[in-house]
């Protein structure tokens, strides 16, 4: 094709790619609340287990709406990515040799699968551990005993008995709540029962056969509050980084396949590679130790897998080279 024909073909592929993305984004707009709920599940579970209200907040007027649009757009791009890659392949395949086409056809889906595997690993493995650690960590900072004024100076500074209205002390309540480690079975005959959950510090009861939470006491001096926008950014970045990190075996195999570095040389520098892996994980992941370790250890394992694949690639390269 002439240069003008190439430009026309490129314009056609770009338009088809954008149309596919637009359709996918419009569809994802209707499912964005479900997607957001799915992505927020790790932090909600961690908050509930730690004894805090399982809810997020927005610190800006449009924060939730912006997160809604971002999630819909990102989900649409991910869903439309096979269509986009197909359009790119139709454009570039005409300029590739047959062995190059075969390489892309084989390792393109493998690369996409590793990316998705990394994102799934981040969500189902890393996120629960990281969120639980940071929420439960707050419970170590319990309230320092009675926070009412105790000493003479504290009473002088914080107590103002003269300005405080005189009230009659209420009669002691005869209500005593059982403290349970799990919800009891629903009572028979439409009766009501009330108890305190020892795990979550909740006061709970049965209403129409369903468990309802009446009150919750914070178990910590510091209450964790997470903004929906920051949490969504944290989750998306973490899943993307793990998806990129899981490309390590292909990168090592490609380097060995073209002869840039031998697997023997890479294996001899294993200690340096492990150090670089941990440094790279600290740079790429959000600033928390759990995410950094959770990315570094799989990348180390993927490095070892890459060496195995690289040795196989070296054997194939030596087999096709003329003696």
Instruction: State whether 91 and 181 are in the same domain.
Output: no
**Overall number of domains in the chain:** 3
What is the edge-to-edge ordering of all strands in the sheet holding 179-180? 179-180, 194-197, 202-207, 210-216
The pLDDT value recorded for residue 85 is 86
- Domain end marker among 139, 162, 193: 139
Decide if pLDDT at 195 tops 60: yes
Confidence of residue 190 (pLDDT cuts 50, 70, 90): low
Instruction: State whether 182 and 269 are in the same domain.
Output: no
Q: Which residue has the tokens 């914070």?
A: 218
3-state SS assignment for residue 192 = coil
pLDDT of 40-72, one tens digit each? 999 988 887 777 778 888 888 888 898 899 899
Confidence of residue 234 (pLDDT cuts 50, 70, 90): confident
Residue 194 lies in a domain: yes
Residue 224 lies in a domain: no
Instruction: State whether 210 and 251 are in the same domain.
Output: no
111 is in which domain, residue-wise?
A: 1-139
Contact call for residues 140 and 267 (beta carbons, < 8 A): no
pTM of the model: 0.72
Confidence of residue 26 (pLDDT cuts 50, 70, 90): very high
Instruction: State whether 214 and 255 are in the same domain.
Output: no
Instruction: State whether 34 and 119 are in the same domain.
Output: yes
Token pair, residue 248, equals: 């390590």
Instruction: State whether 179 and 131 are in the same domain.
Output: no
Instruction: State whether 195 and 277 are in the same domain.
Output: no
Residue 166 lies in a domain: no
Instruction: State whether 256 and 212 are in the same domain.
Output: no
Residue 207 lies in a domain: yes
Confidence of residue 243 (pLDDT cuts 50, 70, 90): confident
Looking at per-residue confidence, does 268 or 15 come out higher? 15
Enter the DSSP assignment of 57: B
CA distances from 73 to 29, 80, 81, 169 (A): 8, 10, 12, 59
The pLDDT value recorded for residue 20 is 92
Mean pLDDT of all residues in 78-104: 81
Residue 204 lies in a domain: yes
Residue 188 lies in a domain: yes
> Across the chain, what does the average pLDDT equal?
79
Confidence of residue 143 (pLDDT cuts 50, 70, 90): low
Residue 226 lies in a domain: no
Instruction: State whether 112 and 18 are in the same domain.
Output: yes
The pLDDT value recorded for residue 27 is 93
Instruction: State whether 55 and 111 are in the same domain.
Output: yes
The angle that helices 63-92 and 228-245 make with each other, rounded to 10 degrees, is 20
* CA distance linking residue 241 with residue 284, whole number of Å: 7
Instruction: State whether 261 and 305 are in the same domain.
Output: yes
Instruction: State whether 59 and 179 are in the same domain.
Output: no
CA 37 to chain centre: 12
- Domain end marker among 139, 154, 186: 139
Residue 110 lies in a domain: yes
Backbone angles phi, psi at 139, to 5 degrees: -70, -10
């Amino acid at each position: 094709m002439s240069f003008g024909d190439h430009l026309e073909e490129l314009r056609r592929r770009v338009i088809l790619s954008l149309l596919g993305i637009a359709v996918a984004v419009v569809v994802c707009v209707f499912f964005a609340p479900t997607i957001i709920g799915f992505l927020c599940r790790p932090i909600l579970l961690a908050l509930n287990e730690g004894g805090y209200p399982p809810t997020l907040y927005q610190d800006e007027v449009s924060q939730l709406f912006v997160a809604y649009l971002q999630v819909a757009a990102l989900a649409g791009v991910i869903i439309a990515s096979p269509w986009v890659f197909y359009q790119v392949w139709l454009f570039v395949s005409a300029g590739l040799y047959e062995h190059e086409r075969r390489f892309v056809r084989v390792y393109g889906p493998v690369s996409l699968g590793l990316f998705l595997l990394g994102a799934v690993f981040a969500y189902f493995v890393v996120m629960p551990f990281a969120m639980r650690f940071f929420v439960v960590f707050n419970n170590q900072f319990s309230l320092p005993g009675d926070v009412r004024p105790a000493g003479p100076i504290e009473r002088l500074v914080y107590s103002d008995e003269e300005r405080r209205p005189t009230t009659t002390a209420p009669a002691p309540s005869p209500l005593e709540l059982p403290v349970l480690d799990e919800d009891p079975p629903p009572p028979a005959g439409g009766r009501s029962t009330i108890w305190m959950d020892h795990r979550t510090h909740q006061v709970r009861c049965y209403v129409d056969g369903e468990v309802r939470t009446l009150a919750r006491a914070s178990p910590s001096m510091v209450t964790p509050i997470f903004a929906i926008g920051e949490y969504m950014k944290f989750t998306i970045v973490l899943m993307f980084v793990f998806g990129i990190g899981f490309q390590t075996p292909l990168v090592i195999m490609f380097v060995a396949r073209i002869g840039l570095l031998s697997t023997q040389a890479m294996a001899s520098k294993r200690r340096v590679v492990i150090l670089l892996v941990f440094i790279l994980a600290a740079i790429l992941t959000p600033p928390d130790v759990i995410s950094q370790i959770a990315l570094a250890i799989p990348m180390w394992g993927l490095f070892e897998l890459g060496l195995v694949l690289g040795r196989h690639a070296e054997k194939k390269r030596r087999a096709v080279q003329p003696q």
